[in-house]
Structures are given as C-alpha cells and as structure tokens.
Amino acid sequence: MLTIYGVYRSRATRTLWLAGELGLDFKHVPVIQARRLSDPTSAEAPVNTLTPSYLSINPMGTIPCIDDDGMVLYESMAINLYLARKHGTSLAPSDLVEDAQMMQWSFFAATELETNALKISSTVAEGLANSDAGQAVMDVAARMLRRPFKVLEQHLSGNDYLVGNRFSVADINVAEVVRYAQAHAGLFDANPSVKAWLDRCQSRPAFKAMWDARSTEAA
C-alpha cells in the first residue's frame, strides 16, 4: 500500500499530481506544515511536521513523504522519480539517457528555480504583491530567474515537453516549481514557449483534479 503524507497546499502537490497521472491507489495523510499552526505542539494540534509520530517516519519533518509498502522516502523529486520508474508508463524514463535527462531537469528545478520562484509565490500569498516592497522582491526574484527561464525557453521552443517529446515525470517536477513564479506576468511574457508548455501541463485532467482538491483544502 502506498501512503502519501502532506497536505495539498504544499510540495506534496507534485506527488499527488503524479499519483493521479499514474492512476495509483493510495492513502493520503494530510500532514500540515507546523509553521501554519499557532501551537503545533499542543495535544489538539493536527498531525503536523513537528508531531513526534511524523518525525519518527520522516526525521526531516518535511512534506511530502511516502511509505510504499514499508519503504519510506522523502524529498519530492526523488519520490516522483522513484514512483515513475516503479510504475513505468510513458511518464518514466525509457533508458539510461532519459533517466539522466529527467534527473537533470528535476535537479535544475530544485536548485536553479525553486528558491526564487518561491519568493514570488510567497509574496503573493502574504498579500504583498501590490505593495512597492512586494513588487521589488518579485522583480529581484524574476531577474534571478531570467537565465534559467531562458534555458527552458530555448529547450521548449523546439520541444513540446522536456524529455523524449512526451509528457513525463520531468514535466511534473519542473512545472510544479515554475508554477510558483506564475504570478510574475513579465517573466512569462518574455518566455512564451515556457508559458505555452505550462498551460499544456496544467490542462491535463490529473493536474486539474489535483488543483480542485487543493482548492477545497483550508488555506
């Protein structure tokens, strides 16, 4: 049995979206970020990233995490690459080269995009997007993203998807990070192929199902 830990309003979306694409049967345990609770250590608090029983599963206290028949794994990109490979289908790499390319794009998202993309989404989430200070933070983050977005743009101007000209786990891993920057219209206007690719990824039924579930979860 596969268990996926982590609320929808977290990086768990990557794994929940992939599980939908693969049609996996799984148990969802909506562990919430401790920072979103006023007293995460109280006895009444919902299971969160500081709850001892959760820390005994994932000592990092992060979400997502999975337990796949006793095999526990954290780090969202590793989880997704594992699940894709385990269940095969066109979402998984078909050979060693594609495997390397899917890892390349996943590491690229985690190391070259995520920090600055998150600055954009958290500025919006904090309601600061229309303030001068918020705009300045978003513009600096967008400037830092210019180069990796240009690399993505060059690749996607000649390819509909990141690897093997088909939708794969690499697209999920990168699209869910690029989404954090989506509120910065200028970044996407300057990179129309990235915008078109993100639209393609987000128009998939499994993304929409994940997004609907996320939208119904308490903010």
Ligand X SMILES: N[C@@H](CCC(=O)N[C@@H](CS)C(=O)NCC(=O)O)C(=O)O
Which spans of this chain sit near ligand X (rule: CB under 6 A)? 10-11, 33-35, 49, 62-64, 75-76
**Minimum CB distance to ligand X smaller for 34 or for 124:** 34
Amino acid in the structure at residue 173: N
Sign of CA dihedral 163, 164, 167, 168: negative
**Minimum CB distance to ligand X smaller for 20 or for 64:** 64
Q: Could you tell me if 162 and 113 are in contact, meaning their C-beta atoms sit under 8 angstroms apart?
A: no
Please write down the long-range contacts of 109-112, taking CB distance under 8 Å and 24 or more positions apart.
Answer: 109/77, 109/173, 109/174, 109/176, 109/177, 109/178, 110/77, 110/177, 112/148
Q: How far is the CB of 125 from ligand X (least distance, A)?
A: 12
DSSP secondary structure letter of residue 46: P
Residue number, nearest CB to ligand X:
33
- Rounded to whole angstroms, the Cα distance separating 175 from 82 reads 18
A 10 A CB-CB count for 27 gives: 10
Q: How far is the CB of 21 from ligand X (least distance, A)?
A: 18
Q: How far is the CB of 193 from ligand X (least distance, A)?
A: 25
A 10 A CB-CB count for 153 gives: 17
Q: How far is the CB of 177 from ligand X (least distance, A)?
A: 9
Residue 62, helix vs strand vs coil: coil
Q: How far is the CB of 102 from ligand X (least distance, A)?
A: 16
**Minimum CB distance to ligand X smaller for 75 or for 153:** 75
Whether the bond between 148 and the residue before it is cis, its omega within 30 degrees of 0, is no
- Rounded to whole angstroms, the Cα distance separating 142 from 213 reads 29
Q: How far is the CB of 82 from ligand X (least distance, A)?
A: 12
Tokens of 139: 């513009």
**Minimum CB distance to ligand X smaller for 34 or for 128:** 34
**Minimum CB distance to ligand X smaller for 63 or for 178:** 63
**Minimum CB distance to ligand X smaller for 34 or for 213:** 34
